[in-house]
Structure 1
Amino acid sequence: MRSSFVLLPVALALLSTGAFGWLSDTTSVDCLQSRWSEWMKVGYNTRLRTRVILRHPSNGGTACGPNEETEQLPAGETITPQETAQAFDSFFLRRQTTLTRNPAAERDLLVILDESGSIGVAVFEEAKEALAKLLGYICPRIGPDVYGNPYHQVAFMTFSSSYEEHFDFDDYGSYAGVRDAILQETYSSGTTATHDALDYARTTMFANGDFSVSAKGLRPESMKEVLLITDGQPNSASATVAAAEELQSIGVDVFALGIGNNIAQNHMEQLVSHPAYKHIFHLGSFDDFHTIVDTVEQQYNVLAGSNVNNPCINFNPWEITGGRRR
């Protein structure tokens, strides 16, 4: 009987060591990453591939390598409008630039549309229609829903020799309101004073960075964004670059959709936020603007035909939720 009492503490000690030994495990664990994705064409002449971390290293294990890799397109390769649509959907409509982006983030987006003389009234009308339709695919959605889910606000400006603000961020609480307001705007020809429009965006629309006192409907905690749509060289390239840099310096993320071949690649790259290949989208003509819309619409229709009714792509890259705006 005594011997059993003597052995009991030893047995308990062994059991404890076996059960909790993992707490002091110093085994080296290397990083584990997925295979590289297929190459995706982005920007003007870049291709991108990505991978994700499946297991983080510990105890001195081999560190993870980069999750993104870019290189210049091979000689002779170009980017089609359909491929630009894929990049536009990934990096602008869905904003899946990283896997750590907050899916609850709200966006206050200012669209600035070029209406200079090189465009013309007919093309301007087509551009408005394409833009108005494309904004319907921004996710989660424009305007709040009855459940209080994250939502976006959109403001709209045009510019030529001067600029005009058409509506503030909180003027329209639904996609239908934003769409109809864009469609009713009329064309005003002139030169290309891009820097004046960007300066007004910074000083007035984004309140010089003091978002809490904005009179334009900004929400202090939202993501602040600009989408510049233009087809030509600005009146002053240096002033435009300076205006874009100042806009970014107050916390505004700048995207650009360059249409036509009159815009220098290096100039556009100086206007947008970093990395440029995720913020620049280039098309050969305004006809290709409609191709972007058609391509995105086809993709969403495929989703609608699967297990998702009226799909809306959420910020979260692993989740598809919600419904299309009306």
Structure 2
Amino acid sequence: MGRSSTLLDLTLVLLQILTPGALFFQNDPVDCLVTNWSEWSQPRAFGMVERHRKVLRPTENGGVHCPRLSEIVPIREHPTVNQTAKHFAQAFVSNRRQMTYTASGGRASMRILPRDLLIIIDSSGSVSPSEYEQSKQAMAEVVKLICGDIGPSFQDNRVAAIHYSDFVYEDFAFNKSFLVEEVVNNIYKITKHSGSTCTGDAFNYARVVMLQPEKGMRPNSQSIKDVLILTDGYSNCGSKVRIASERLKRVANVYALAIGMWQKQRFEIESYTSKPTADHLFSLKYFSDIPTFLDGLRLYSNDVYCVPFFGHQF
């Protein structure tokens, strides 16, 4: 009888402690607390700057919700070639993005994954033969600089390429070139087919044909899917680019290097890159800027820390 009475007393004490408003349990609203805004970034893409702030204390118990944590503002100042190279190194060459995966025990975790990178090159008539050669040089250099090796291993990056004008031409699939030297050589072998700019058709081909297991693309748990398009203008034929790009963005991250496109031409290309736009869209005013861009890209890529694949981000 005494033991039952003791257990009852302990139960009542525990209930008191866990009751809202009790001494050891607080239910008061807690408002979100954030840092001050960071400084505005250097100009990016066609001319936009951004700033950020971080959460110091999250909202609890119905307190005031956190305000916006980032702002992107368009400006009229186009980034310099050097600024574009630095940003490209930080946003594209780097591999600090994480993917969620489920371990064998059913526990969700995060890890760094290699890339399945599809390169798309605009081959339309507005790009001269010499400019086309510069485009291929830019893509070949990017392949050499991105974090991680290219190869058949599950920890290696894989690269594929297509080019387009009136039609879409498949150059090589993910399972055709497993060494960086092979990939670079195959990029330089890409021929030019002048014509109109059917960008929507290229996006549909990328999604339906190239980003498939039979082309060597791996499951989502094994790689990050990236698409990088180099283009100089509007789409003017074929499938509607906005519809095609929205479908493509559901299965891949879409980046763009726009060359020779001006402020008033920015809206279409902004619409088909992934969000946030400032980290997926890069622009140069002229094809003649490519050598300077590549020099800066090599320099700033030396400062990029490549996280080991399948390791946890710091």
Which TM-score applies when normalising by structure 1?
0.73
Cα-to-partner distance string for 1:88-131 (whole Å, 9 max, x where unaligned): 22332226579999442232111100122221221111221121
1:93 partner amino acid:
V
Does the 8 A contact of 2:115 with 2:157 survive in 1?
A: yes
Does the 8 A contact of 2:89 with 2:300 survive in 1?
A: no
1:196 partner amino acid:
D
Q: Look up the match of 1:6.
A: none
How far apart in 2 are the matches of 1:126 and 1:243?
Answer: 27
Of 182, 185, 201, the match for 1:177: 182
Corresponding residue SS for 1:296: helix
Does the 8 A contact of 2:86 with 2:297 survive in 1?
A: yes
Corresponding residue SS for 1:290: helix
Q: Look up the match of 1:85.
A: 85
Does the 8 A contact of 1:161 with 1:193 survive in 2?
A: yes
Paired residues for 1:1-326 under 5 Å = 24=25, 31-40=32-41, 41-58=43-60, 63-73=65-75, 76-94=76-94, 102-143=110-151, 150-207=155-212, 214-221=213-220, 222-236=223-237, 239-249=240-250, 251-261=251-261, 264-301=265-302, 312=306, 319=314
Does the 8 A contact of 1:90 with 1:96 survive in 2?
A: no
Does the 8 A contact of 2:230 with 2:259 survive in 1?
A: yes
Aligned residue pairs total: 282
Q: Which runs of 5+ in 1 are unaligned?
A: 1-16, 208-213, 304-310, 320-326
How far apart in 1 are the matches of 2:58 and 2:232?
Answer: 45
Corresponding residue SS for 1:312: coil
Distance 1:246 1:300, change over 3 A: closer
Q: Look up the match of 1:323.
A: none
1:271 partner amino acid:
Y
Distance 1:317 1:126, change over 3 A: farther
How far apart in 2 are the matches of 1:122 and 1:257?
Answer: 17
Q: What is the percentage of aligned positions where both structures have the same residue?
A: 34
Does the 8 A contact of 2:52 with 2:70 survive in 1?
A: yes
1:228 partner amino acid:
I
Post-superposition offset of 1:246: 2.6
2:53 partner amino acid:
R
Post-superposition offset of 1:180: 2.1
Q: Which runs of 5+ in 2 are unaligned?
A: 1-16, 101-108
Post-superposition offset of 1:44: 1.9
Which TM-score applies when normalising by structure 2?
0.75
How far apart in 1 are the matches of 2:132 and 2:61?
Answer: 60
Does the 8 A contact of 1:96 with 1:317 survive in 2?
A: no
- Deviates further, 112-121 or 174-183: 174-183
1:173 partner amino acid:
F
